[in-house]
């Protein structure tokens, strides 16, 4: 984590600093500054790796924003996925300005703020595509794009040095479920006016051709509705409102009742229905508690847990741990989502549990039950050819995706009148645009902050290190009672071990000798040391660590507990 001082923005210079989302999937966040005004684009999270024990969320390091606290004037949101809005509760207290987003996006933000006891007051400002808002020297236009959820927008930000286009996440779906088409015309108009810089989604640059439309999954699901004689259980992301709509429409066609299962699934379905983005005919939706009251062949369950998350609905259903939903031999379970890298083992575990229940499992590899929400290579090229920017910055992806997008951009623009300059940036790079051109001019503080939501706080490196330590070698607590006056032992030290494995025949001997090590350490210490609890605790920790390493070959986390009597 770089804690260097943040320099002031030079006059007549646009400064763009990506704080997350470059070189990784998730945690998307970018700051644009002109003189004393800074605006933010998105504030997302990413989810932890399996070895990041006890970590629930990862957000960008906000040091850069804290240094500009008085200059941050607004937060602009492109859409409502977690990797774009999940960090809003952590960012909102750092500035006093408005948060602009479409109705669906802000509706998904509101419960997050409530969970953090944040009263946004009138700061949440709803916008629609083609709306324009002004923040200091910036004029921000919202442009309709299609994605895997409704109400998504790209941004055209007019700055004193030119127009900056930020695509957000997108694919070009020409048969959108809600009839709201990608605004290709506006992208073309901007290209004709002249665009200074394009910041474009790189997620699927390594996929050839075009990404399929959302309706492409209908045929596969029709087959499943026809062939499934019991319950049909579909796991997908709780933000996949279009997928929900397809499933609800098919449930109506095949005369099944629909139950939304999982807290976030129920909440998002309610929000989408309230805003008119999800249409469920009267009498079709039932509660999860009502599932046992209907014949299995009359029920469709749409659940969370497509990534095998232990506390989500589907993994609980798979081990018969759900109060109302049980799987049987005639049931079919569908994973209607792409596995996020790192989640393969969790998904495989859930799949095996489902197989034990006798249910059939269908994944993307078996039937075409999922399409991506991100544009493939030809769609990304199309946007480039419409916008025709002077400078191009690929965003949203690992470095290999950004580099491949840069190569494709040079090919697309090879025949254009002006040469395209590509800026391959990473998180924290300070990208400057002025009358002389564009360049990466330095580094701002950037990094990651690990969040344990049960504590509503950060998880430091040392905490994560201790958790890994305990997971590998266990923990030994040495309970030591000493005299308050003399510091001498008042009773024999007691050793309490958890997760520290030694042969049963050796355990008594090792722990007995460990008690002797404690006694010897205290006896060899001066009165001043014995009556200094902090000093004595550290001495015992060092001695016991050395002892356990020598006797067992392991390094358990040693926690001496001194009690004065």
Indicate which residues carry an active-site annotation.
Answer: 201, 374
| Strand residues in 184-324 grouped as ranges (E) | 195-201, 232-235, 257-261, 285-286, 299-303
361 burial level (CB within 10 Å; 0-12, 13-18, 19+): middle
* DSSP class of 510: H
Q: Which of 477, 500, 497 is nearest to 563 (CA)?
A: 477
CA atoms within 13 A on the CB side of 531: 7
Q: Which of 175, 179, 157 is nearest to 166 (CA)?
A: 157
- Between CA 565 and CA 562 the distance in angstroms is 10
Rg from Cα positions in the chain: 28
Tokens, residue 286: 């039932």
Answer yes or no: are the C-beta atoms of 195 and 389 closer than 8 Å.
yes
**CA angle at 217 for the pair 405 and 250, rounded to the nearest 5°:** 150
Give, in order, the Cα–Cα distances in Å from 376 to each of 171, 183, 186, 266: 7, 17, 20, 31
Q: Which residue has the tokens 């491949």?
A: 404
Q: Which of 460, 449, 456, 454 is nearest to 44 (CA)?
A: 449
- Between CA 52 and CA 542 the distance in angstroms is 26
């Amino acid at each position: 984590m770089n804690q260097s001082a943040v320099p002031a923005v030079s006059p007549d210079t646009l400064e763009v600093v990506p704080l997350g989302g470059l070189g990784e999937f998730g945690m998307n966040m970018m700051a644009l500054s002109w003189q004393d005004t800074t605006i933010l684009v998105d504030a997302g999270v990413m989810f932890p790796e399996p070895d990041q024990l006890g970590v629930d969320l990862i957000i960008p390091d906000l040091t850069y924003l804290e240094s500009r606290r008085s200059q941050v004037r607004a937060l602009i949101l492109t859409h409502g996925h977690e990797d774009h809005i999940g960090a809003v509760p952590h960012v909102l207290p750092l500035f006093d300005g408005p948060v602009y987003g479409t109705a669906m996006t802000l509706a998904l933000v509101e419960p997050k703020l409530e969970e953090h006891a944040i009263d946004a007051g009138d700061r949440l400002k709803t916008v629609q595509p083609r709306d324009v808002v002004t923040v200091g020297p910036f004029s921000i236009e919202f442009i309709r794009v299609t994605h895997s959820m409704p109400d998504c927008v790209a941004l055209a930000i007019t700055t004193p040095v030119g127009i900056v286009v930020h695509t957000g996440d997108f694919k070009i779906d020409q048969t959108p479920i809600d009839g709201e088409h990608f605004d290709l015309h506006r992208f073309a108009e901007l290209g004709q006016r002249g665009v200074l810089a394009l910041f474009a989604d790189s997620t699927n640059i390594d996929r050839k051709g075009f990404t399929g439309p959302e309706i492409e999954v209908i045929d596969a699901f029709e087959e499943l509705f026809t062939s499934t004689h019991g319950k049909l259980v579909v796991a997908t992301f709780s933000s996949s409102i279009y997928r929900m709509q397809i499933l609800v429409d098919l449930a109506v066609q095949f005369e099944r009742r629909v139950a939304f299962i999982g807290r976030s699934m129920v909440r998002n379905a309610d929000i989408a229905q309230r805003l008119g983005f999800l249409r469920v005919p009267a009498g079709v939706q039932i509660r999860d508690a009502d599932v046992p009251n209907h014949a299995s062949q009359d029920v469709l369950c749409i659940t969370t847990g497509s990534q095998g998350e232990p506390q989500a609905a589907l993994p609980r259903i798979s081990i018969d741990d759900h109060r109302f939903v049980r799987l049987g031999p005639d049931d079919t379970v569908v994973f209607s989502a792409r596995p996020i890298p790192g989640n393969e083992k969790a998904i495989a575990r859930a799949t095996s549990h489902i197989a034990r229940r006798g249910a059939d499992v269908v994944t993307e590899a078996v039937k075409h039950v999922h399409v991506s929400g991100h544009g493939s290579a030809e769609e990304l090229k199309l946007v480039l050819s419409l916008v025709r920017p002077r400078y191009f910055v690929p965003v949203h992806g690992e470095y290999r995706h950004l580099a491949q997008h840069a190569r494709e951009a040079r090919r697309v623009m090879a025949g254009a009148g002006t040469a395209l300059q590509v800026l391959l940036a990473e998180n924290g790079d300070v990208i400057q645009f002025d009358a002389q051109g564009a360049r990466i001019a330095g580094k701002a503080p950037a990094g990651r902050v690990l969040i344990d939501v049960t504590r509503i706080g950060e998880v430091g490196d040392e905490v994560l290190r201790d958790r890994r330590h305990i997971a590998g070698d266990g923990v030994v607590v040495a309970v030591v009672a000493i005299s308050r006056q003399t510091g001498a032992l008042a009773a024999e030290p007691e050793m309490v071990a958890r997760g520290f494995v030694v042969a049963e025949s050796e355990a008594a001997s090792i722990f007995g000798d460990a008690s002797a090590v404690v006694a010897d350490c205290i006896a060899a210490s001066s009165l001043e040391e014995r009556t200094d609890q902090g000093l004595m605790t550290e001495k015992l920790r060092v001695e016991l660590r050395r002892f356990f390493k020598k006797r067992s070959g392991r390094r358990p986390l040693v926690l001496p507990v001194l009690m004065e009597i």
